[in-house]
Amino acid sequence: MKIRAAVSREKEAPFTIEEIDISEPRHDEVLVRVVGAGVCHTDLICRDQWYPVPQPAVFGHEGSGIVEAVGESVTKLKPGDHVVMSFMSCGHCNSCKLGHPAYCSELYERNFSGTRPDGTSALSANGEPLSAHFFAQSSWATYAMGYERSVVKVDPTAPLELLGPLGCGVQTGAGAVFNILNPKAGTSIAVFGAGSVGLSAVMAAKAVGCTTIIAVDLKQSRLDLAAELGATHGINAIDVPDVVEAIRDLTGGGVDFSLELTANGKVFRSAIDSLAPLGTVGCIGATALGTEYSFDVNDLMLPGKTIKGMVEGDSIPDIFIPRLVELMARGQFPLEKLVTNYKLDEVNRAAQDAESGAAVKPILVFA
């Protein structure tokens, strides 16, 4: 079947809108007509080859849409279902069996290799295979191929075009709080980076009853939005000479939890240094492979601080994404305040706005 897609043909080059082919779904696959697809930091760093995803490629890993067709083995989904596409895991390694698919032993191969596990691709252009199956979807296209394991059915009354980021960015930020840090009511948290992931963490922190929620960013507009979504304090790192001291002053010695989302080593150090004794910092910001951070070992050891790596909010998508949709319906996760819509033909402007910070969460909307 002919579809339209944004294709990344070279490192750091603009995306091109092309007519390509998508195959019929295999026995465990789900063909989805895409309604909306978020533009995420991970899409752009893979375009730029921080992670060496083969090119030419179709990216996009925050897709939502309507099931068009399913393979013969698929039982949980049917044509017409409203769905969110999320990451893929193997289902049989120890992490998957223990209920932690985000830490699947095959996570990289299943989401970044550009192919199915057997080395084939559902996408092609002029008879030549394209790198696809990015996060088991490659949803910057009018149709995407997911798997029964990675596609989540959602409430058909929810605003489908907004839901794609629940499959990655929102799931990551909210899950970091709900599933991993699990803060008690009355505790404190600092969120370094008020993009869509950080703001999702802010909303989650408010929902669980954190009483001190500090957002740190370089853009005042994002700090203003963080305040609207639940942050009790905002720190503009341009205006404040010492962010760590500012956090310590606000909290009387440091926060119970912090999240680092900027992928900047200096910021990560600040996220550690701003912790109170026994505090935990979550490392979420994706960097180029091989990146190393530094910190004071004694400041980690003596106060009993913890550094925790976090992927996809340690969520089980089939369970967690519908819960986020319910929170949206109750007004506790107003994602519409984060979103700017773009057409597929505007993908390069959406990418530029994501990188510059002009848009918090760009979404490609398909008419």
Q: What is the CATH number of the domain that holds 225?
A: 3.40.50.720
Question: Which of the four pLDDT bands, split at 50, 70 and 90, describes residue 139?
Answer: very high
Average pLDDT of span 140-152: 98
Cβ(308)–Cβ(281) below 8 Å: yes
**Secondary structure (H, E, C), 148-180:** CCCEEECCCCCCHHHCHHHHCHHHHHHHHHHHH
Residue 9, judged by CB atoms within 10 A of its CB (0-12, 13-18, 19+), counts as middle
Q: Do 120 and 195 sit in the same domain of this protein?
A: no
Residue 131 DSSP one-character state: B
Average pLDDT of span 344-362: 96
316 within domain boundaries: no
CA distance 1 to 20: 8
323 within domain boundaries: no
Which tens digits make up the pLDDT trace of 86-105?
999 999 999 999 999 999 99
CA distance 344 to 65: 15
Q: Do 142 and 35 sit in the same domain of this protein?
A: yes
Q: Do 82 and 227 sit in the same domain of this protein?
A: no
Of 310, 326, 344, which residue is a domain's last?
A: 310
315 within domain boundaries: no
Q: Do 13 and 97 sit in the same domain of this protein?
A: yes
Cβ(121)–Cβ(114) below 8 Å: yes
Measure CA 113 to chain center: 18
CA distance 83 to 126: 30
Average pLDDT of span 139-168: 97
322 within domain boundaries: no
Q: Do 234 and 119 sit in the same domain of this protein?
A: no
Q: How far is CA 8 from CA 15, 59, 173, 348, in A?
A: 5, 8, 27, 11
Q: Do 264 and 129 sit in the same domain of this protein?
A: no
268 within domain boundaries: yes
* Angle, CA of 293, 232 and 243, to the nearest 5°: 35
Question: Which of the four pLDDT bands, split at 50, 70 and 90, describes residue 214?
Answer: very high
Whole-number average pLDDT of the chain: 96
Which of 197, 272, 270 lies closest to 240, judged by CA?
270
Q: What is the CATH number of the domain that holds 143?
A: 3.90.180.10
Q: Do 177 and 111 sit in the same domain of this protein?
A: no
- Residue 297 pLDDT exceeds 80: yes
CA distance 257 to 290: 26
What is the model's pTM? 0.95
Q: Do 149 and 99 sit in the same domain of this protein?
A: yes
Of 294, 310, 326, which residue is a domain's last?
A: 310
Which tens digits make up the pLDDT trace of 161-210?
999 999 999 999 999 999 999 999 999 999 999 999 999 999 999 999 99
For residue 334, the model assigns a pLDDT of 95
Q: Which helix (H) or strand (E) holds 188?
A: strand 188-192
Three-state DSSP state, 262: coil
CA distance 32 to 143: 6
* Helices 243-251 & 265-273 angle (0-180, nearest 10): 20
Q: Do 20 and 158 sit in the same domain of this protein?
A: yes
Token pair recorded at residue 63:
């897709």
Pairing relation of β-strands 233-236 and 151-153?
Answer: unpaired
241 within domain boundaries: yes
For residue 329, the model assigns a pLDDT of 96
Q: Do 102 and 182 sit in the same domain of this protein?
A: no
Q: Do 8 and 137 sit in the same domain of this protein?
A: yes
Which tens digits make up the pLDDT trace of 222-250?
999 999 999 999 999 999 999 999 999 99
Q: Do 157 and 184 sit in the same domain of this protein?
A: no
Number of separate domains in the chain? 2
320 within domain boundaries: no
326 within domain boundaries: no
Q: Helices marked H in 22-82 — which ranges?
A: 41-47
For residue 286, the model assigns a pLDDT of 87
Q: Helices marked H in the chain — which ranges?
A: 41-47, 94-97, 107-112, 169-175, 196-208, 220-229, 243-251, 265-273, 297-301, 317-329, 347-356
Domain that holds residue 62: 2-167+334-365
Cβ(254)–Cβ(262) below 8 Å: no
Q: How many C-alpha atoms does 196 have within 13 Å on its Cβ side?
A: 33
Three-state DSSP state, 198: helix
